[in-house]
Amino acid sequence: MSKLSAFEHVSLDGYFVDAHGDMSWASKSDPEMNDFAAKSASGGGVLVFGRITYEMMASYWSTPTAAEQNATVADAMNKRPKIVFSRTLDDVTWENTKLIKGDPATEIEKLKAISDLDMVILGSGTIVSQLSQGGLIDEYQMIVNPIVLGSGRTLFDGVDHKLPLSLTSSRVFENGNVLLHYTTD
């Protein structure tokens, strides 16, 4: 059975996007953070997206600019298998991507049961919320960015019960970001 993780950037006040849906504030990088991103991207497993994150990621990582600016991450992002959940897309063009139009919770439950490939959600707050509500996310890797947005959307909008988590590791980056790794209890 595969494991499902969520890898997310959040502000210090708990938002994954600001009041305008922007998350460019999460791009504060440095050599240490870039090295971490390259190692993470090169890992195995299936990338999982909602439509908005898929469109944002595909529009950058599949370009020559991405290959020039960060060849290791671009190569890994393009080669890894990807799933995008969308009821509005008719097709997907990013290589190694499968479009799923069904209910994310139902489909992820099926995939976890039949696959041995782990999956990781990148961004995709609505998907994270739906799958958290259904108890389908096994671990959360949260990068807390040293910024207060004042308003926005949390990853857990719509979750109507407590989600007990256990901290398994943490790491502070030179740029002030803090990685918190939680597993579900």
What are the tens digits of pLDDT across the range 58-106?
A: 999 999 999 998 888 899 999 999 999 999 999 999 999 999 999 999 9
Q: Is the pLDDT of residue 168 over 80?
A: yes
Domain hosting residue 48, numbered range: 4-184
- The residue with tokens 């790491």 is 171
CATH number at residue 87: 3.40.430.10
Q: What is the CA angle 184-55-138, rounded to 5?
A: 10
Spell out the alpha helix ranges (H) of 71-158: 71-79, 104-114, 125-133
Instruction: Please give the tally of structural domains in the chain.
Output: 1
pLDDT of residue 40: 80
Instruction: Please report the pLDDT score of residue 42 as a whole number.
Output: 72
167 falls in which pLDDT band (50, 70, 90)? very high
Amino acid identity at 46: V
Q: What is the pTM of this model?
A: 0.92
Percent of the chain beyond pLDDT 70? 99
Q: Is residue 179 within 8 Å of residue 170, measured between CB atoms?
A: yes
